[in-house]
Amino acid sequence: MDPSSLTNVLSSPEVQAFASGFPVMVMHLALTLALLVVGAAVYAMLSPWKEIALIRDGNSAAAVAFAGILMGLAVPLAVSLSVSTSVRDIAIWGVATVVLQLFAFRVVDTLLTGLPQRIREGEVSAAVLLVGAKLATALILAAALTG
């Protein structure tokens, strides 16, 4: 390939759009993943049944329940990411989303009494019900974000 052909390829609108858009996409992705990790960590600290310790002990129900937490946080964060236009916008809506979702999780945990003990005892059916309730709230929150 001669140098002028390479220059033409590198100066094409597609390559220029990629060169300017890729770093922005990486920043948006990194911020959203950081919000997911922080949200999951806050939930794990506030959880009435300490999923991480239970998971380390081999409790499948706790693993299912915590996977639901991750998915329940990821759904509205993904929608927040898709409707936001800047890092600041993602930070504002992402934090709001995590706070609202953690509040919704706490409400679900309160309404579904008895589940913490059942999850501690390894009852996967209780964890599946909890995941369903948390994913339902995540989908509703995600829909609310789209306006």
Residues 29-61: tens digit of each pLDDT:
999 999 999 999 999 998 877 889 999 999 999
Number of domains in the chain: 1
What pLDDT sits at residue 76?
93
What dihedral angle (degrees, nearest 10) is formed by the CA atoms of 47, 51, 53, 59?
150
pTM over 0.95: no
What pLDDT sits at residue 112?
80
- HSE, side-chain direction, 13 A CA sphere, residue 114: 4
- Rounded to whole angstroms, the Cα distance separating 94 from 143 reads 14
Residue 47, phi-psi category: left (phi > 0), alpha (psi -120 to 50), beta (remainder): beta
Report yes or no on 2 lying in a domain: no
Give the range of the structural domain holding residue 32, as residue numbers without chain letter: 25-145
Identify the CA nearest to 126 among candidates 36, 51, 37. Answer: 51
Q: From the DSSP assignment, how many helices (H) and strands (E) are in the chain?
A: 7, 0
Report yes or no on 8 lying in a domain: no
8 Å CB contact between 61 and 123: yes
Q: How far apart are the first and last CA of the chain?
A: 50
8 Å CB contact between 97 and 145: yes
Report yes or no on 118 lying in a domain: yes
Report yes or no on 14 lying in a domain: no
Query: 147 pLDDT exceeds 80?
Result: no
Query: 1 pLDDT exceeds 70?
Result: no
